[in-house]
Structure 1
Amino acid sequence: MVARIKCSTNIRKPFHYNENKVREGDACLLAAENMLVHVDTHKDKAVLLLERQVALRPDVKVNSVHISLNFSPDEQLSNEQMELIARDYMEGIGFGNQPYLLYRHFDSGHPHCHIVTTNIGLDKSRISLHQIGKLKSEPVRKELENRYGLIKAEQQKTKISTINPLDATKVIYGKVATKQAISKVLNAVIPVYKYCSLAELNAVLGLYNVRAEQGNNGSRIEQNKGLVYRVLDHEGQCIGVPIKASLFTEKPTLPNLERRFLANDVGRSKFKDSLKNKIDITLKFKKCASFKEFQDRLKSQDIRLVPRVNGDGIIFGLTYIDLKSKAVFNGSALGKEYSAKAILERIHLAKIVNPETGFEKNIALGKGYPKELSNENNCIVVYERLHEKSALALMMQYEYAATNVPYEWKKKKKKRKK
Structure 2
Amino acid sequence: MIAKISSTENLGGALGYNFKKVEKGEANILLAAELYQDREGRYTMEEVLADMEALIPKKCRTKKTVFHCSLNPHPDEKLSDETLMQIAKEYMETLGYGNQPYIVFKHNDIAREHIHIVSLRVDGEGKKINDRFEKRRSKQITDTLERKYDLIPSSKVTDKAMKETPKIDTTRGNIKEQVASTLRMVLKHYRFCSLGELNAVLSKYNLAVEEVKTEYRGKRYDGLVYVPTDDKGNKVSTPIHASDIGRGVGYAAVQNKMQKSKQMVKPLIPAVRRKVLEVMRTSPQTEERLRQRLEEQGLCVVIRKNEGGRIYGITFIDDEKGIAFNGSRLGKGYTANKFNEYFSNPEKNPFLDESLYGKIDTTFQQQMQTIQSDEQESDNLVDELIDDMVGESFSSSGNDDWKEAAWQRKLRRQSKISLQRRKR
TM-score, normalization by structure 1: 0.44
Question: Computing the radius of gyration over CA atoms, which structure comes out larger, 1 or 2?
Answer: 1
Q: Which has the higher helix share?
A: 2
